[in-house]
Amino acid sequence: MIKENSPIAIFGLGHMGLPTAALLAKSGLKVVGVDINKETVEMVNSGQSPIMEPGLEAMVKKAVENGCLSATTDTLSAVGAVNVIMIIVPTPVDDDKKSDLSAVISASKSISAGLKKDDLVIIESTVPPGTCENLVIPLLEKSGLKAGADFKVAYTPERALPNNTLYEMTHNARVIGGVDSESTQMAVSLYHRITEGEIIMVQDLVTAEMVKLMENTYRDTNIALANELALVCDTLGVDAIEAIQAANHHPRVNIHTPGPGVGGHCLSIDPYFLVEIARERGLETPLIQASRKVNEDMPGEVVRIIQKALEGEGKTISGSKIGVLGAAYKGNVADARETPAKPLIEELISKNADVLVNDPYVSPEIIRSWGAQIVGLETALESDVVVLVTDHDLYRNIKPEMIKNRLLVCTRPILDRETFQKEGVIFKGVGRS
Ligand SMILES: NC(=O)C1=CN([C@@H]2O[C@H](COP(=O)(O)OP(=O)(O)OC[C@H]3O[C@@H](n4cnc5c(N)ncnc54)[C@H](O)[C@@H]3O)[C@@H](O)[C@H]2O)C=CC1
Ligand SMILES: CC(=O)N[C@@H]1[C@@H](OP(=O)(O)OP(=O)(O)OC[C@H]2O[C@@H](n3ccc(=O)[nH]c3=O)[C@H](O)[C@@H]2O)O[C@H](C(=O)O)[C@@H](O)[C@@H]1O
């Protein structure tokens, strides 16, 4: 077993790594965060959080003040000083939708250089099935040590929901698989320090890797179904939200919520890991790929809905002022990674619209990089058409009288359609046009 209270190094102090580091430090362990971003390291060492997450900055500050949490860019000194090393670095896809594991590779190489006998390496990054066995372990064994015999390896996917990360990290069930049962047991004893949820041990590393991808692919495919059903409702003049709410009263039906598309660092990426690994084994995955396409096409569908709404008012997208509410990929987060707002805004600009974006969470530089202007909420609401893209709670307070030109495309069901229609607002949406 790992020595009681072994110090821990965590590679990657991002949306998942920093909360993990803070929780482990709060449990009394000495944690050193390793990041390639100097600014992140400096912020953490000064007790600040580069990640916007409820409760995180206070936890980081306390842990740093207690001397339980520090951060460094010096990988070798970090690995040399600990017995447990975690990899929670980004795993995006490249332009061809192929997994980009460069961060995992670089972290694994750094760890290998300082790996010691009886160390435990835990991978949390979402990776294609087989990555631990076929990529990470061979890199770690360049240390001359043997996985299983000399050092331990476990994989546990992170499943926390941004904006509720600390709660979910401590309450979600956790799935853990290891290169051998001792690795699994060592990881289980460590996570018992921060997890009140059930800990599910699976038979090996690849099973644990696969569980994560199954979860996110399940969700992406179900969102695609909701979106496609909404588009069918559009052709029938059926209110998709009303119909879905009614259908979900069936004991075994859980149709997800249609929207402007699927964003975020995971759902829009992880299914491609399964497509890639299956294809390498001669298997195509038509449903997973079709679901990704449905979701990726949604921003274009929203442009079509906007076009139709403006035409109804004798206007066109070209030359219209379009007020876009929300740039983040989902409500109440600052994360704009893979956000559907980006392709939507870019397409509107390509059609010569004057796009005015309001999003108090997302950094202005990101929004400006899309070619859009940033405006206050009031200005956005004065546009020819208002398009609600992100379900930030602050938009729930919008009243009909605030929509100056009485035309609203609401792509998230956070405003009551009837209330707006009663006040003379033309209320459109995904599956609500
Ligand atoms: N963000 C989320 O909601 C969730 C993410 N995940 C997975 O967790 C992993 C990390 O994702 P996020 O935390 O969102 O990423 P992030 O982009 O928020 O943070 C990653 C951090 O790692 C650092 N980094 C990059 N390369 C590094 C290296 N070689 N060594 C040390 N640090 C390095 C970056 O500077 C950054 O600070 C990914 O595999 C992701 O799929 C899993 C569940 C939820
Ligand atoms: C299976 C599952 O619920 N996975 C979670 C998911 O979190 P994520 O931050 O991606 O949020 P999400 O609620 O899935 O939303 C993703 C995207 O899909 C959209 N969305 C979501 C649900 C829905 O019914 N309709 C819809 O359009 C959201 O607006 C967003 O653009 O992916 C996370 C991850 O892996 O990063 C994971 O940790 C979370 O547990």
Confidence check: pLDDT of 3 > 90? no
The residue ranges of every structural domain in the chain are 8-203, 218-429
Q: Please state the atom number of ligand 2 nearest to the C-alpha of residue 330.
A: 29
Place of tokens 């460094």: 72
Regarding the beta carbon of 273 and ligand 2, being less than 6 Å apart is answered no
Spatial distance between the Cα atoms of 50 and 18, rounded to a whole number of angstroms: 9
Given ligand 2 and candidates 170, 267, 273, 392, which is best to mutate, with the most ligand atoms within 8 Å of its CB?
267
pLDDT (tens digit per residue) in 381-415: 999 999 999 999 999 999 999 999 999 999 999 99
Spatial distance between the Cα atoms of 424 and 419, rounded to a whole number of angstroms: 9
Q: Average pLDDT for residues 256-280, to the nearest whole number?
A: 97
pLDDT band at 75 (very low <50, low <70, confident <90, very high): very high
To the nearest whole number, what is the mean pLDDT of the chain?
97
- Tokens (6 digits) for 429: 């949406």
Q: Is residue 313 within 8 Å of residue 340, measured between CB atoms?
A: no
Regarding the beta carbon of 15 and ligand 2, being less than 6 Å apart is answered no
Q: Please state the atom number of ligand 2 nearest to the C-alpha of residue 329.
A: 31
Considering every ligand atom, which ligand is closest to the CA of 124?
Answer: 1
Secondary structure of residue 103 in the 3-state scheme = helix
Q: Is residue 329 within 8 Å of residue 339, measured between CB atoms?
A: yes
Tell me how far the alpha carbon of residue 175 is from its chain's centroid: 19
Considering every ligand atom, which ligand is closest to the CA of 332?
Answer: 2
Q: Quote the ligand 1 centre to 91 CA distance (angstroms).
A: 7
Q: Quote the ligand 2 centre to 405 CA distance (angstroms).
A: 33
Task: Tell me what percent of the residues of the chain surpass a pLDDT of 90.
Answer: 98
| Burial state string for 141-159 with b = 16 or more CB within 10 A and e = fewer than 16 | eebebebeebbbbbbbbbb
DSSP of 172-229, one letter per residue?
Answer: S-EEEEESSHHHHHHHHHHHTTT--S-EEE-SSHHHHHHHHHHHHHHHHHHHHHHHHH
CATH architecture of 218-429: 3-Layer(aba) Sandwich (3.40)
Regarding the beta carbon of 223 and ligand 2, being less than 6 Å apart is answered yes
- Please report the sign of the dihedral spanned by the C-alpha atoms of residue 283, residue 89, residue 120, residue 108: positive
Domains 8-203 and 218-429 share a fold: yes
State ipTM: 0.98
pLDDT band at 5 (very low <50, low <70, confident <90, very high): confident
Regarding the beta carbon of 171 and ligand 2, being less than 6 Å apart is answered no
pLDDT (tens digit per residue) in 168-184: 999 999 999 999 999 99
Query: Using CA positions, which residue lies closest to atom 19 of ligand 1?
Result: 14
Regarding the beta carbon of 14 and ligand 1, being less than 6 Å apart is answered yes
CATH architecture of 8-203: 3-Layer(aba) Sandwich (3.40)
pLDDT (tens digit per residue) in 32-58: 999 999 999 999 999 999 999 999 999
Regarding the beta carbon of 227 and ligand 1, being less than 6 Å apart is answered no
pLDDT band at 244 (very low <50, low <70, confident <90, very high): very high
* Element at 321 (helix H, strand E): strand 321-325
Confidence check: pLDDT of 430 > 90? yes
φ/ψ (deg, to 5) at 387: -120, 110
Q: Is residue 172 within 8 Å of residue 146, measured between CB atoms?
A: no
- Rg of the chain taking only CA atoms, in angstroms: 24
pLDDT (tens digit per residue) in 88-143: 999 999 999 999 999 999 999 999 999 999 999 999 999 999 999 999 999 999 99
Q: Please state the atom number of ligand 2 nearest to the C-alpha of residue 162.
A: 9
Given ligand 2 and candidates 266, 297, 302, 389, which is best to mutate, with the most ligand atoms within 8 Å of its CB?
266
Regarding the beta carbon of 29 and ligand 1, being less than 6 Å apart is answered no
| Per-residue confidence (pLDDT) for residue 1, from 0 to 100 | 56
Q: Average pLDDT for residues 353-362, to the nearest whole number?
A: 98
Task: Give catalytic residues, as residue numbers.
Answer: 212, 266
| Residue 261, phi-psi category: left (phi > 0), alpha (psi -120 to 50), beta (remainder) | left
Regarding the beta carbon of 12 and ligand 1, being less than 6 Å apart is answered yes
Beta-carbon neighbour count of residue 99 at 10 Å?
20
pLDDT (tens digit per residue) in 186-234: 999 999 999 999 999 999 999 999 999 999 999 999 999 999 999 999 9
Spatial distance between the Cα atoms of 220 and 224, rounded to a whole number of angstroms: 6
Task: Tell me what percent of the residues of the chain surpass a pLDDT of 70.
Answer: 99
Query: Using CA positions, which residue lies closest to atom 38 of ligand 2?
Result: 159
